[in-house]
């Protein structure tokens, strides 16, 4: 009887550990790894460039560029390019979210760059040296649902 109770306890423990494992087929820690990837997050009011360990950079609708919440002074031509990039990213975000399936967890949705976005990315990366550390981020465009 003691052997039966020991086996039953062992099986119950295994089932309990299996139930506490990863959700949605993801491996444990993959969400943390995903959050740590360089990316460009496009939400309704900002475009956020993220790349650890660099500080976050954000592009506003007026073409302003803030790195670590400090606005960088830019010539009007560069602000204009950033404003155009912001506009194209917002349009692509809207198209992506219109066709994306609903998600109760409000996870972001990846999307591909259009030729216009790619051309503007290269322009701003070439013109604004402060954006060079974020080059890799442009390979991972994410439409935020908020």
Q: What burial letters (b/e) apply to 112-132, b meaning 16+ CB within 10 Å?
A: ebeeebeebbebbeeebeebe
Percent of the chain with pLDDT over 70: 77
At 82-103, the pLDDT tens digits run 999 999 999 999 999 999 999 9
Does residue 19 or residue 113 have the better pLDDT?
113
List the domain boundaries for the chain: 36-143
Question: CA-CA distance, 59 to 90, in Å (whole number)?
Answer: 11
Cβ pair 74, 110 in contact under 8 A:
no
Q: Give residue 27's pLDDT.
A: 44
- The confidence score (pLDDT) of residue 143 equals 96
In degrees, to the nearest 5, what angle opens at C-alpha 44 toward C-alphas 40 and 49? 20
Task: Look over the chain and give the mean of its residue pLDDT values, rounded to a whole number.
Answer: 85
Answer whether residue 136 shows pLDDT above 80.
yes
pLDDT at 16: 57
What are the pLDDT digits (tens) for 55-75? 999 999 999 999 999 999 999
Q: What percent of the chain has pLDDT over 90?
A: 68
Best CA proximity match to 41, nearest among 99, 109, 131, 94? 109
Reference 108, options 137, 144, 146, 141; nearest CA is 144
The tens digit of pLDDT for each residue in 6-45 reads 666 667 665 555 655 545 444 444 455 555 689 999 999 9
Rounded to two decimals, the pTM is 0.76
């Amino acid at each position: 009887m003691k052997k039966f109770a020991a086996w039953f306890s062992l099986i119950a423990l295994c089932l309990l550990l299996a139930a506490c494992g990863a959700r949605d087929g993801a491996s444990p820690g993959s969400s943390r790894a995903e959050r740590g990837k360089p990316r460009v997050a496009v939400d309704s009011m900002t475009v956020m460039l993220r790349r650890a360990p660099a500080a976050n950079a954000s592009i506003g609708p007026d073409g302003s560029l803030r790195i670590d919440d400090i606005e960088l002074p830019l010539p009007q031509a560069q602000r204009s390019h950033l404003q155009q990039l912001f506009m194209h990213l917002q349009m692509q975000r809207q198209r992506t979210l219109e066709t994306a399936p609903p998600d109760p967890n409000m996870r972001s949705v990846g999307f591909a760059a259009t030729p216009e976005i790619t051309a503007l990315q290269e322009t701003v990366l070439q013109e604004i040296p402060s954006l060079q550390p974020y080059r890799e981020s442009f390979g991972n465009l994410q439409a935020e649902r908020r």
